[in-house]
Amino acid sequence: MKHRMAFVFLFALMVAGCGQPAGEGSASPASASESRKQQQTVYRWKLITTWPKNLPGLGTAPVRMADRIRTMSNGRLDIKVYGAGELVGAFEVFDAVSQGTAQMGNGASYYWRGKLPIAAIFSTVPFGLTAQEMNGWLHYGGGMALWRELYQPFGVIPMAAGNTGVQMGGWFNKEINSLTDLEGLKMRIPGLGGEVLARVGGVPVSMPGSEVFSSLQTGVIDATEWVGPYNDLAFGLHTIARYYYYPGWHEPGPTIESIVNAEAWASLPADLQAIVETALRMTNDDVLAEFTARNAQALRMLVNDHGVQLRKFPDEVLIRLRTVSREVVAEMAGDDPLNRRILDSYDKFSTLVRSYHEITERAYINARVVRSDGGEANDGA
């Protein structure tokens, strides 16, 4: 009996010395080895954009994002950024990421209307949601889940990567005094805004940013929208067009997207996935902040230093464009169930947030400019 008890005691000590079984608090040798391997692996990605190389704001934001990811990951995820035309054309970004030519892309979803017409909603809708409202819909109103469902068959995962805020209405070589001035007007304008322009008699032209200046200069187009004062000043559009119109009815809150190849995403360990998502959320906020500050500075320069003639679209024109915009958006869903769910989600959130912003954002802005004599204050201008 004594020998038997000694054996049992010795066996218990041996079991205790082995620690907890794998999966119950300690990693097995195999899983620990795999974890160390992932921590040592360097992932090298290509990021292709629809923007010209080093374009302020749009072109530089992906570079800053890649730098943040490289730093946050201690060099384990190294992303090299290519501008439009360096590896693929501006409008080939979606297909290239889908096919795995590059692991990541940066652009705007309305560039893929030929493949996915409803995708434009995830960028901007004429007379639709502002930047702040788009962020609310995407991240807390169900929009992001629908966006990813739409792109899933193409092996692409979308994420928000910035917003320019309400854009300008564009550059024109003639004044727009009535709807007749839009008839036959050849204008570079993408997305749903282009469809609206076509229905009021204009001729929308789609082209990448690198071709805008020369096309307007040579008369290939009569007018162009690009982004806003910050980018427009950098492009030199004020040197070839006389009139600068507002508001940007066609792009009230254009979301920039980053897309990731689904297989490349699945190959990343969880911590690197979290780093990418965190860096993109930061970039999404940072881009809007940059455009808010730089647009205000650049507009003052355009008007005060370069003599740009600022013009507001006539109410008659805006009312007609708004009516046609509603018709265009209403037709987008067609008979496709997913398209209908996307449009219904957007409309529901739009109704909700607009009613709230009537008594917050709009009411405050109106209160900020009202004067005691009924005019508008211009404090700080």
**pLDDT tens per residue across span 330-367:** 999 989 999 999 999 999 999 999 999 999 999 999 99
Question: What is the structure's pLDDT at 244?
Answer: 98
Question: What is the structure's pLDDT at 31?
Answer: 62
For 44, the enclosing helix (H) or strand (E) is strand 43-49
Question: What is the structure's pLDDT at 145?
Answer: 98
Per residue in 267-319, pLDDT (tens digit) is 999 999 999 999 999 999 999 999 999 999 999 999 999 999 999 999 999 99
Question: What is the structure's pLDDT at 87?
Answer: 97
pLDDT over 70 for what percent of the chain? 87
Question: What is the structure's pLDDT at 12?
Answer: 44
Per residue in 181-235, pLDDT (tens digit) is 999 999 999 999 999 999 999 999 999 888 999 999 999 999 999 999 999 999 9
**Residues 147-169, mean pLDDT to the nearest whole number:** 98
- Whether pLDDT at 322 is above 90: yes
Across the beta sheet with 309-312, what order do the strands follow?
A: 203-205, 186-188, 223-224, 170-172, 243-246, 309-312
For 153, other C-beta atoms within 10 Å of its C-beta total 9
**Beta carbons of 318 and 112 less than 8 angstroms apart:** no
Give residue 53's pLDDT band: very low, low, confident or very high (50, 70, 90): confident
Ranges 54-58, 133-137, 266-270: which has the least confidence: 54-58
**Beta carbons of 48 and 87 less than 8 angstroms apart:** yes
Mean pLDDT for the chain overall: 91
Per residue in 72-107, pLDDT (tens digit) is 999 999 999 999 999 999 999 999 999 999 999 999
pLDDT over 90 for what percent of the chain? 83
Domains identified in the chain and CATH numbers: 42-162+254-291 (3.40.190.170), 170-250+308-369 (3.40.190.10)
Q: What sign results for the dihedral spanned by CA atoms 134, 139, 141, 146?
A: positive
Question: What is the structure's pLDDT at 337?
Answer: 97
Phi (first) and psi of residue 161, to 5 degrees: -135, 25
Give residue 376's pLDDT band: very low, low, confident or very high (50, 70, 90): low
CA within 13 Å, CB half, 233: 20
Question: What is the structure's pLDDT at 314?
Answer: 98
Question: What is the structure's pLDDT at 33?
Answer: 59
Q: Would the pTM count as exceeding 0.95? A: no
User: Which residues 6+ apart lie within 8 Å of 62 measured at CB?
Assistant: 47, 49, 51, 81, 106, 161, 258
Question: What is the structure's pLDDT at 216?
Answer: 96
Question: What is the structure's pLDDT at 77?
Answer: 98
